[in-house]
Amino acid sequence: MLGLRDLDVSEINHILDTAEGFEQISTRSVKKAPPLRGKVVANLFFEDSTRTRNSFTLAADRLSADVIEFTQKMSSVSKGETFLDTARNLEAMGVDIVVVRHVASGASRLLSRSISACVVNAGGGFCEHPTQGLLDIYTIRKIKKSLEGLKIGIVGDIAHSRVARSDIWGMSKLGAEVILVGPPTLMPPKVDELPVSVSYSLDDVLEELDVINMLRIQFERMGGNPFPSVREYSHFYGLTGERMQKAKDDILVMHPGPINRGVEIESEVADGKNSVILEQVKNGLAVRMAVLFLVNQAAAEKA
Amino acid sequence: MSVVLNSEEVQQVLSKMSEQIRVSASEGEDIAFIGIRSRGEILAERLSEMLSELLGIEVPCGTLDITLYRDDLNSPSGDWQPVVRTTEIGFNIDEKLIILVDDVLYTGRSTRAALDALIDLGRPKSIRLAVLVDRRGREFPIQADYFGVKSDVQPGKSVKVNLVESDGKDEVVIE
């Protein structure tokens, strides 16, 4: 499970349908089911993450798997061990599924070729973050029933966003029209090769959008100055209460988190009636349970 | 292919079963039906309607997906791929008399999975098992409390329950 670019429409739909079955586990008295009993999931996070890592841990726990938590700071990597050696050592301990996040885009692909355990990409470089893309799509599908014909705006720091990559592939495959919005300096290279249209003005496109996904400016990944000031960026691309007046009444406001309140989105919008930001987090759990279940199933079939 | 029950007989045994359930349930017992996907779901709905009519009260009915509780998830055979679907039980099962409904009781493995799935949802007062076909060949110590018809089919053959809602016609056949 490396990226949505590799999956076809029926595979994406199969994951989303499966996630529906997992949603109710979190609402009942015993929040646990047994399908991964006796399996070991290793969370291999070479880059900081709270939401995604906790979500994967909880998802694995709820499926009765044992979980090994690995973060770079408290590991042998700080003593000079290579990425692959770390993974091979974990595999030698009998790990069945490796969930990996890495700063390098190809890390999960490299890993999947090098070890026999299943690999789930939990975000790599600027490339993909498939489970986030799937939970975004799941959230939209749940409320709007289908993505077919929807206009979905992805706003902000597209260049540094793996979420945007997964969203673009997944959403366009399911029939949505994806519009990237942001300053030219935050557009990814070769944007014309992606199945999207581009707008440099949020005000121009806002009124036609059915869904808007506000991305965080990833200051930590930025070299140079892509825009003159944060205030100027917010002025042109921030989702404010005032701007929301122009949007459709039933527009869905999404954000992959963490939010920089007052930069890309104002608090009154993030907490407002159109916001599904916490729904996304909730759905993420069901989607990750579905992904862990399905990769384990695929491995069982191969064996 | 031979027919075990035709459409009329399916209807007859279902109404016989609902009558048995009514008789065996003691006064004031809080009954609810839960059907195992997918044929059991339909049979549970029919039985709950029949019993609702007999008792003059609404008997609740829900659907259970047992995929996550199956004991063969890690040893799939070529033609079977697990598909996880939703469990839809719109009531609290605590302290209720649950009638678990399935189309065919054979090895008892589905029932075992269903019992585990139910226990994770709450603590019913008791659970009873109702099946349309009670087929010989149990692998677990599980028996039906109510059944429509018994069948003694050789292993290798399959007992198929067709229902109007899913297959256009009520019928139990051996293939």
pLDDT tens sequence across A51-99: 999 999 999 999 999 999 988 776 767 778 888 998 899 899 999 999 9
Q: What is the pLDDT of residues B11-56, one digit of tens each?
A: 999 999 999 999 988 777 899 999 999 899 999 999 999 999 999 9
- B52 within a domain of the structure (yes/no): yes
CA separation for the pair A147, A151 (Å, rounded): 9
Instruction: Give residue B64's domain range.
Output: 8-69+85-154
- B119 within a domain of the structure (yes/no): yes
Closest CA to A296 of B110, B76, B87: B76
Say if residues A186 and A157 touch (Cβ distance below 8 Å). yes
Q: Is the bond leading into B38 cis (omega within 30 degrees of zero)? A: yes
Which of A22, A28, A118 to mutate: most B Cβ within 10 Å? A28
| Residue B77: predicted pLDDT | 65
- B162 within a domain of the structure (yes/no): no
- B124 within a domain of the structure (yes/no): yes
Task: Say how many C-beta atoms besides its own lie within 10 A of residue B53's C-beta.
Answer: 12
| Residue B101: predicted pLDDT | 98
Mean predicted confidence (pLDDT) in A208-213: 97
List of residues 6+ apart from A302 with CB closer than 8 A? none
Note the pTM of the prediction, 2 decimals: 0.91
Q: Do B82 and A297 touch (CB under 8 A)?
A: yes
Residue given tokens 């609290």 in the structure block = B92
Domains for chain A: give ranges and CATH numbers.
4-129+281-302 (3.40.50.1370), 130-280 (3.40.50.1370)
- B56 within a domain of the structure (yes/no): yes
Would you give the distance in Å from CA B32 to the centre of its chain?
Answer: 13
Residue given tokens 């027919």 in the structure block = B3
Q: In angstroms, what CA-CA distances link B77 with A292, A299, B57, B137?
A: 20, 13, 44, 20
| Residue B80: predicted pLDDT | 64
- B161 within a domain of the structure (yes/no): no
CA separation for the pair B14, A257 (Å, rounded): 54
B45 CB within 8 Å of a chain A CB: no
- B134 within a domain of the structure (yes/no): yes
Any idea what DSSP says for residue A259? -
Say if residues A196 and A168 touch (Cβ distance below 8 Å). yes
Q: What angle do CA B52, B55, B59 make, to 5 degrees?
A: 35
Tokens of B143: 């028996």
Amino acid at B118: L
Closest CA to A84 of A49, A108, A120, A52: A108
Shortest distance between the Cα of B104 and any Cα of chain A, in A, equals 23
Q: Which residue has the higher pLDDT, A16 or B75?
A: A16
From first to last of its 175 residues, chain B has per-residue pLDDT tens of 889 999 999 999 999 999 999 998 877 789 999 999 989 999 999 999 999 999 999 999 999 999 999 988 877 665 667 889 999 999 999 999 999 999 999 999 999 999 999 999 999 999 999 999 999 999 999 999 999 999 998 888 999 999 999 999 999 999 8
Closest CA to A288 of A96, A107, A40, A18: A18
Q: In angstroms, what CA-CA distances link B24 with B35, B69, B126, B128, B156?
A: 19, 29, 13, 11, 35
Residues of B in contact with A27 (CB under 8 A): none
- B2 within a domain of the structure (yes/no): no
Shortest distance between the Cα of B32 and any Cα of chain A, in A, equals 18
Tokens of B119: 């226990």
CA separation for the pair A244, B13 (Å, rounded): 61
CA separation for the pair A185, B163 (Å, rounded): 61
CA separation for the pair A237, A235 (Å, rounded): 6
The CATH number of residue B138's host domain is 3.40.50.2020
Tokens of A298: 């695929």
Tally of residues, chain B: 175
Please name the residues between 46 and 75 in chain B that touch chain A, using a CB distance below 8 Å. Answer: 65, 67-69, 73-75
Structural domains of chain B, count: 1
CA separation for the pair A97, A121 (Å, rounded): 11
Rounded to two decimals, the ipTM of the complex is 0.84
Residues of A in contact with B81 (CB under 8 A): 297, 301
